[in-house]
Structure 1
């Protein structure tokens, strides 16, 4: 619950903060413990923050959340407003940084995601079901790890407990990539899923969420991926939220939006309802591939 003091400070905060800063400032700290800047790779971009809810058990699931930003921007410290509500569902949450354009292009940010996932799965995720999750560009990274065995190796990918995508651009061509971020990809085309349909066998359960009013990443991206995955027997739950845009779907998770009645979609509730259906065998996702 947001305090009266925080509510009275809202006008000043609105003028002084970015949207992420504001959401973080108004998100209750609760009883979640936070470890910041855990290393998974070289440099400042090779670090992650870990959110551990009070009472976490050895088999409590762990969600690895990749933020969006068009592969150009983002910082793990900006996403406590997402991690804390997810942790309140009863999951550990890791939020990694990854390298960004123009310093790198594809596939570096997916490789960073794979390195982060390996480190998390071998460390705090050992013995736990591990789920990958992302929003926008981060959803591309998360779903690439959950779908395409080239990043984790088939045993590592198949050991994941599930994948959650929010408003992800899962398949687009060079006409949508004027800066050539994906110029080194086959056919200069960005694809989260493997080209061969048979390689989708063994993919973990998926939850794919999108707003119908998203003009940044069209909801057809989610519809097409859901259809393709289902055709290969992948368990998929798909939710399209009427009237919700690209940023609104992520904002709907935040405590301020839900407390103030501004949440445009039951995103957190749908994640909570989906979690019991994940693979409950302990994660073995410390891949060598």
Structure 2
């Protein structure tokens, strides 16, 4: 009998490449990814909603806390290997893992990790790009504990999201099939990394997905007006959406939008050396423990 439940989860760190992995795997004819990229069921089934952002309570977040509603995301995937990609499952591992085991038993787990200093700054600039952050990076780091107390969405926890050792250790201890990917490797040799994931998932590894788009790139918008048009709801977008729905598939629309975002995104300003060193000092011990745990060379993260 074909299960409605997902058989694998991408549970990597936020802003470490989970969105790109989601879209690359979703191209495989044997794989079905949930139409909502981040349902957040396992990492968010216990959240007290609505969560806050810089504008106050945000009731528009698409979070699936009901099990049957979550399962409905996979009903169109009959006959395919089903998966989803919610970074919240990684950050809230202590709450997520028991629920994953209760609901899914022993799914395959893909964890993608990134230099935690780069991850933190990328996450911040991503929020700035989307007009969802109004503080400097230094002030946002200082405000993190207060935001935690005020029930902010975890996407504002720039420092806390970079501690990987404990969640990786927990996933390795609780699940028999865990595949760890480093963003550095994905960027350096995407074809090899994706083929390895296909082998891990036991689907045909000779399929070659389109890897020309990197999703959710952080940076500064070249044209702020275009960025606002693309990022904020407006009547004209609502008017042309039905036309695009007829002409393009959902996957094609997503790819087109990301290409436009990439063309309109200039590289972010370099992170100040003093702030980089401060974050590196914060993460150094955790990086060392992670390196020993997964037996991978992470020396490039140490400077």
Structure with bigger RCO (C-alpha 8 Å, 6+ apart): 2
TM-score, normalization: structure 1?
0.35
With the length of structure 2 as denominator, give the TM-score of the two structures. 0.33
Greater percentage in strand: 1
Larger Rg: 2
Structure 1 or 2: larger helix share?
Answer: 2
